[in-house]
Chains A and B, each alone.
Chain A
């Protein structure tokens, strides 16, 4: 599709005027008459039996309305929190999870009781006065220990701690290894990360027994799924539950799945007959909002001495936490994407999901794809090191070049040009120049390293054939409704929901351009289940444009088809004789015979319509993509490690990405910049740490959990190539996770390259000063 006036334009965001003036409307900005405040009493132990809960002192405080425990909630909630079959269908053991513990707590922070009071400070005071008697039980926080025989059980009534154990076989791995001339092995850790949206979670609910109506406001990437889950648990017809997700202050995957509070807050509102609100504190967030990553990989790669890659054999031990995350098994897609952009004869990938006494893991920006990329790119660099080849050359030798490319697990990459992004990244980063400077620096004893990451991702979830089974029945298609009002203004409803991605702008550009109306005429609506089509599928997995945008596009086409018929009727011409340009239908050869689409819209509400035509100009469309989409790119990082302090400083960072056609390049660049920052943060700074002995969280505030400031991050040099996707009419892919998928491998490959003269071949994340300093001390001994 050609770049036109609006598509491909750097349109300033429509979201911004309210956000820059303090008039955004986030969850905590919502209130209701008679609002009450809920605080959660949480387990201080990673594993314990609950012997008794005494709420008397709390109840005695004036203003405290209730102290509620599992016994109270069992009267209004039923069932277990959902776990989808995604990616690890052969689950062995899925512990039941009620939103609040009734006899046993299995992670620190698990809800035990809630307090509702007339004031938030009072609710917090009262929560401290609830006295819970525990008998502590043995706990395990290390996943490898948890999968060993004789480990403490995460759930005292469980058979073992194995959530799943399955192997994806992609080709004859033994045959591939039998031809190997070189084999490299590595153990690669993916530390647990806290997603750390700047806005924590929050829920407000108002239940009305009259007509049994529930309204729920929460900070969510996925309001329709929350409606489905909460209505089911509360036994309220889905049609009587309205979920509103207002401005969302960041998500990064942590606001996809349902949480205990999403059930407890509306249930408390039903029990008390009052509106109830709960806002998560930051410590609650680090302790109880899902964590990302949390894996131990062991891998071996086989190749011929000329650099031809043969086989990759790996095991992923995934730290599930105390329960399966709703979409937790999604991270097993690291296995399916472990081959990256290369041709391999065979890949064998075993994934083991292991329960531990910690908060569950679930998708976090990239979800499996950063891990798969990191693993693949580390192994390719290890191989280059072993072979004495330039890592760029080894990559080029093995790139997939014919598209569609079917990888070892049968996934079909739609389009790509891996040489194109690598060539441009090497040029833009001055790779050869840095190699020369590196040689000079090494001569001076300085530790300078250069790292590459040539990445590909699977995104745009996704085709019904692949996703209906993965979710347990609801295919991740997307829906949109477009409606012309008589005045010519256009209401566009989508089932995706933005939390910083600027959909209000991008989607409006798309609709305005397609329908030929001014941008100002389009009003984009999302985040409210009371509006638009019956169901929306949420924003995650870089799916919003390639699936939701396509639903808008197909709805636009349906509108244009109807408008053409009506315009022909009004102009007394044949529909085939009309041209549609710049928002108006004209009769070919007679430009005076003209009706704008807005004139046609007004006419559609009048009388005298063609035989059989219904009033109005609107369309609902569901888009089921025929395939996933496959963005890709090449990143280059240069670091210098300080021998004295162990600090790794990024000297240069370059990213060249390809997400197909682009609607708003300004927004795309912003997504890449932010994604790179988040991945550098994993590579160098962030880690959720639990004490191995006590199971206590040690990084419970932003003082301990190191989200980088402006001063720790580089300004990346960015560029794009454009390889349209053949999967959809817009030729678009996705960009929300790209930077996060790409960067950690580039940074760690650079760190390893820097330390190579010391005989250090692998570094785990975060490559913090103390970790690097220790490695250097050990290497020096």
Chain B
């Protein structure tokens, strides 16, 4: 009863037979083995499952895998080339933007989409861009700091383009 799903995940073209009701997040985690994308709430408030779908941030727990047919998906594992770090990853590390780390991939992916559109976001714009992501550990202070630091680093051309 499976249907064929054709997607590109982190640059790799794939074709898989999937159940029509399979959620995109479970496709990524279980079929593709990319467990960096997490499930936190099941109901689209927390954003732990955020991935990039054709460059836009989407919540992969609220989308069927088949709805992604034909799309290019980037997960946290594919944000930077193997062994390297994206400026956002570096900035979260340097600014202590994470504690338990469970929400972090979702924050980084949502921030990546934000910075792709806005190279110099204000505090308010960062707040709007990340209003769909919840963190229980940090109080967000260092997350905001990390996003600003990453934006600056990217403006200064220190990094590869998003999704690269």
Contacts and interface: CB of A to CB of B under 8 A. Distances in A.
Interface of A: 12-13, 15-17, 19-26, 28-29, 120-121, 196-200, 247-250, 252, 281-283, 499-502, 666-667, 669-671, 673-678, 701-703, 707, 709-711, 713, 715-716, 739
B141 to A, nearest CB: 5
B40 to A, nearest CB: 5
A197 B39 CA distance: 12
Given A21-B76, A121-B21, A670 B142 contact: yes
Contacts of A283: 42
B46 interface: yes
Given A22-B35, A710-B130, A15 B138 contact: no
Interface in B110-139: 126-128, 130-139
A702 B100 contact: no
B13 interface: no
A676 B140 CA distance: 11
Interface string B129-164: 011111111111111100000000000000000000
Interface residues of B, number: 56
Contact of A674 (B99, B130, B131): B99
B85 A20 contact: yes
A208 B25 CA distance: 32
| Most B Cβ at <10 Å: residue of A121, A249, A500 | A249
A249 B108 CA distance: 16
| Most A Cβ at <10 Å: residue of B21, B130, B141 | B141
Contact of B100 (A29, A196, A198, A739): A198
B131 A711 contact: yes
Contacts of A249: 38, 100-103
A713 B38 CA distance: 24
A701 B43 contact: yes
Given A673-B138, A710-B131, A17 B39 contact: no
B96 to A, nearest CB: 5
11 contacts: A13-B96, A20-B108, A23-B77, A198-B100, A199-B100, A667-B96, A669-B96, A701-B45, A707-B46, A709-B134, A711-B128
Given A500-B101, A500-B137, 11 more contacts: A16-B92, A24-B101, A200-B40, A249-B100, A282-B46, A499-B100, A707-B46, A707-B136, A709-B131, A710-B135, A711-B131
Contacts of A19: 98, 101, 104
B133 A709 contact: yes
A677 B139 contact: yes
A17 B89 CA distance: 8
A673 B45 CA distance: 22
Contacts of B36: 21-24
A22 B105 contact: yes
B69 interface: no
A283 B39 CA distance: 13
| Most A Cβ at <10 Å: residue of B22, B43, B77, B85 | B43
B100 A250 contact: yes
Contacts of A701: 41-43, 45
B42 A199 contact: no
A713 B40 contact: no
A674 B104 CA distance: 15
Given A16-B98, A20-B108, A713 B41 contact: no
Contacts of B94: 12
Contacts of A12: 93-94, 96
B68 interface: no
B139 A21 contact: no
A678 B19 contact: no
Contact of A199 (B22, B102, B105): B102
A370 B94 CA distance: 31
Contact of B40 (A198, A500, A676, A703): A198
Nearest to A502: B99
Contact of B19 (A121, A252, A676): A121
B60 interface: no
Contact of A29 (B35, B43, B75, B133): B35
B46 A501 contact: no
Contacts of B71: none
Interface in B31-51: 34-43, 45-46, 48
B80 interface: yes
A378 B101 CA distance: 35
B29 to A, nearest CB: 8
A678 B38 CA distance: 22
B101 A710 contact: no
Of all A-B residue pairs in the complex, the 3 with the closest CB atoms, nearest first, are: A22-B36, A249-B102, A19-B101
A677 B140 contact: yes
Given A22-B75, A198-B103, A716-B141, A17 B93 contact: yes
Contact of A673 (B21, B76, B108, B141): B141
A681 B37 CA distance: 26
B77 A197 contact: no
A17 B126 CA distance: 24
A715 B145 CA distance: 10
A61 B64 CA distance: 23
Contact of B92 (A20, A199, A711): A20
Contacts of B144: 710, 715
B104 to A, nearest CB: 6
Contacts of A248: 100
A702 B43 contact: yes
Contacts of B138: 670, 673-674, 677
B43 A500 contact: no
Given A250-B137, A677-B139, A20 B104 contact: yes
Contacts of A666: 96
B139 A674 contact: yes
Contact of A676 (B45, B96, B139): B139
Contact of B80 (A21, A198, A501): A21
A15 B92 CA distance: 12
B38 A282 contact: no
Contacts of B77: 21-23
Contacts of B105: 20, 22
Contacts of A715: 141, 144
Contacts of A667: 96
B93 A16 contact: yes
Contact of B38 (A199, A703, A711): A199
| Most A Cβ at <10 Å: residue of B39, B89, B102 | B102
Contacts of A252: 136
Interface in B46-104: 46, 48, 75-77, 79-80, 85, 89, 92-94, 96, 98-104
Contact of B89 (A20, A499, A500): A20
A306 to B, nearest CB: 39
A20 B93 contact: yes
Contacts of B76: 20-22
Nearest to A285: B41
Nearest to A718: B141
Contacts of B37: 22
Nearest to B36: A22
B46 A702 contact: yes
A510 to B, nearest CB: 18
